[in-house]
Amino acid sequence: LAGEGDPAQLDAILPKGERIEALDHARGSRRLAILRDGRLAAALFVTREGLLPSRDWLIAQIGEAASPAVLAGAPPGAREDRGPIVCLCFDVGLKTIVSAVASQQLTSVEAVGAALSAGTNCGSCRPAIRRLIEQNRSVANA
C-alpha cells in the first residue's frame, strides 16, 4: 500500500486480534503488530521516511511467537537488508551490489567482483551484475 491518506483509516482493513503498537508522531511513523494466540498474524508499518523493514524478514515472522523485535522491524543484532540474493556463490544481495556500485563508483563486473567477490566463481550472476551497473549509470546520468 502506498499513499498520502490518513493512516488511521487502515484500521478498518486490518484483521482482528491483540494489538501492539508504536507511534512516532514526530517522524510520522506507525508500527502495528496483530497477534492471535500469542503469534504474529499481521504487521503494518507506515512511514513518511520510506524506511521499512525487510519484507522477507517480516514474512518469516508470520505465525511465529510474538517478539518485541517485530515492532523494531528487525531481529536483535540484525544486519542491513541485503535484498534478494544475486550471487549465490558468495551470498551477495542486490542492495549490497547497488550500494557498492554507487558508493565506490564501480563500472565493471570485474570491479564488483574485486570489491564483493560477486561474479567471480560460477559466473551465472554476471549478466545481472552488468544490468545493475548499467541501471546505476543511467540513474547517475539522469
Q: Domains of the chain, with CATH numbers?
A: 7-72 (no CATH), 85-141 (1.10.10.1100)
Report the distance separating Cα 72 and Cα 66, nearest Å. Answer: 12
Highest mean pLDDT (candidates 9-23, 31-45, 81-95, 121-135) = 121-135
Phi, psi for 45 (deg, rounded to 5): -125, 120
E strand or H helix that includes residue 43: strand 39-47
* pLDDT at 125 (0 to 100): 94
* pLDDT at 58 (0 to 100): 79
DSSP assigned state of 125:
T
pLDDT classification of 53: cutoffs 50, 70, 90? confident
| pLDDT over 70 at 79, yes or no | no
| pLDDT over 80 at 78, yes or no | no
pTM over 0.85: no
DSSP assigned state of 88:
T
* pLDDT at 126 (0 to 100): 96
